[in-house]
Structure 1
Amino acid sequence: MHLARPQQRTRFFLAMSLVFLAIALTGFSTTYFIPLATRTLHAPPVIHVHGILVFSWLLFLILQSGLVQTRRMPTHRRLGAYGAALAASIVVSGVAVGLHATRRDLVNGADPFVIGQMVNILIEMALFGGFVAWAIAWRRDGEAHKRLLMLATISALAPAWLRLRHLMPGVPNPFVTFALLADALLLVAIAADWIRQRRVHPVYLWGGGFMVAVHLVEIWAIESAPWQRLGRWLMDVPAT
């Protein structure tokens, strides 16, 4: 079986890391960076902390991919512990941001979508943290390790994709449309595997398949009765 050279494989993951950063910068441009630059952003500290952590993760991913490409593996391994701590901090701050955003949106009424979104946020943070933990556990298997980190980042970028609706207001049903576009990055990764190696790594099949299945359930169930009951319990919203 023909295998791509390590440098070719690594270059792809570095390129994808740069794509992830571009998506995040574009998605949050209208709701965070531009208001921040024009001093019109009014947000609690937790929003800024979470934003710093997420963008630190994206920059960390670029750095680590670059270190692998230049074969500076000892440095790459030493920095791994910082990545683990960063990911754990993102999970904690992400839940905190979700609580803040849901409470803020509930001021305008107990909309079913708003109530259900907190459940989705908890699932997304668990998914991101789970993929990172899996990647750490399999850190000695470089091929699986880097693909698991890619899946974690694809999943974490969903909020940036959703905010693209402000740049493309004509997109119908943005929650569904941009959620599907976010997961389409998995198809790019699968295609890259197939083109270079004529096979798809099992991490993409099992881990990626699980990620897509979870996102489809979230889209379908956000306003369902179980989601609403759990969301109301989490946010202490009385049943109507």
Structure 2
Amino acid sequence: MVKVPNAASPLRGDESSFFADQSFFTKFSAILALIIIFGFAQFAARGIVDISAAPVWVHLHGIMMLLWLGLFVGQNVLIQRGAIKNHRRLGWFSLVAAFVVVTLTCFTGYMAVALGRQPPFFSGPYFLALVYVEALVFLAMIIWAITKRRHTQWHRRLMFGATIIILEPAFGRLLPLPLMGDWGEWVIMLVQLGFVAVIARHDRRVLGLVHPATISIGVIVIAVHVLVTALAFFPPMVSFAESVAAAG
């Protein structure tokens, strides 16, 4: 069993031990990014959505998400190559990109309901709750990861947790949600937990136990889906969604 210590910083202690399992995170980051990109790309390729007819803010949202995914994978590549200083510099730019992504996500979700463009099998309150909760949790996890940047094992896992949260819209396009009814959300939750399980398995192999950050990700994934479902029936959210639709 390869043991990887919970180094406070890759510049302290045995660097080779810190980098021993970085290839796993680099490959996993690329897999997550490709799944998200494929989820949206195949939706357009099948003609389910007309890209040319999409409003400009939808295109901006897509561009910024591609940028953030590129940064996410690139940051892991930099660590694997030992380019720590470049990783740290780029990290602050990644945070700004995440803020822009979340802002555009929330605006796009709002306008989708205002213009009646949300998926027909989603109610307005549910769709807004889904968009807002996942976007804000995504950003919160990135901020949390940055506060843990000197605790590498926490930092890297929280960044992956943020990305696992935003797998939901990709699998919302890969799975036959209209046929799954109310089960769709919980199936996607199980899929997301499957990716958390991949990290947990890696933890046990290299650390000898499941890291607390990995456990936290699993709890957050479950909490997000429970919160979205609850908010969809919360009277203030219902009233808000109705006002948004009426304003459109």
Work out which of the residue numbers 63, 68, 72 in structure 2 matches 1:52.
63
Tell me, yes or no, if structure 1 residue 160 matches structure 2 residue 170: yes
Tell me the residue number matched to 2:109: 98
Q: 1:107 to 1:135 in 2, by over 3 A?
A: closer
Tell me the residue number matched to 1:88: 99
Deviation at 1:171, TM superposition (A): 5.6
Tell me the residue number matched to 2:207: 197
Unaligned runs of 5+ in 1: none
Q: 1:234 to 1:114 in 2, by over 3 A?
A: closer
Tell me, yes or no, if structure 1 residue 230 matches structure 2 residue 242: no
Tell me the residue number matched to 1:147: 157
1:52-85 deviation digits (Å, cap 9, x = unpaired) = 1111111111111011011110111111111010
Q: 1:72 to 1:34 in 2, by over 3 A?
A: farther
Distance 2:241 2:179 in 1: 33
Mapping 1:52-131, distance limit 5 Å: 52-105=63-116, 113-131=123-141
Deviation at 1:126, TM superposition (A): 1.1
Deviates more, 1:91-100 or 1:26-35: 26-35
Unaligned runs of 5+ in 2: 5-16
Distance 1:66 1:95 in 2: 30
**CA contact 2:231–2:237 (8 Å) conserved in 1:** no
**CA contact 1:102–1:114 (8 Å) conserved in 2:** yes
**CA contact 1:155–1:183 (8 Å) conserved in 2:** no
> TM-score of the superposition, structure 1-length normalised?
0.84
**CA contact 1:118–1:231 (8 Å) conserved in 2:** no
Distance 1:55 1:40 in 2: 15
Tell me the residue number matched to 1:30: 42
1:82 is aligned with what amino acid?
Answer: F
Q: 1:175 to 1:105 in 2, by over 3 A?
A: farther
Q: 1:42 to 1:215 in 2, by over 3 A?
A: same
Deviation at 1:235, TM superposition (A): 4.7
Distance 1:217 1:62 in 2: 29
> TM-score of the superposition, structure 2-length normalised?
0.82
RMSD: 2.9
User: Would you say how many aligned residue pairs link Structure 1 and Structure 2?
Assistant: 232
SS at match of 1:212: helix
Percent of residue pairs bearing the same amino acid type: 25
Tell me the residue number matched to 2:230: 221
SS at match of 2:82: coil
Mapping 1:2-21, distance limit 5 Å: 3-4=3-4, 5-21=17-33
Deviation at 1:92, TM superposition (A): 0.2
Q: 1:156 to 1:23 in 2, by over 3 A?
A: same
Q: 1:74 to 1:107 in 2, by over 3 A?
A: closer
**CA contact 2:196–2:218 (8 Å) conserved in 1:** yes
1:180-218 deviation digits (Å, cap 9, x = unpaired) = 212321111111111222111111223431232222332
1:144-195 deviation digits (Å, cap 9, x = unpaired) = 11111101111022101110025x9766643332232123211111111112
Q: 1:171 to 1:122 in 2, by over 3 A?
A: closer
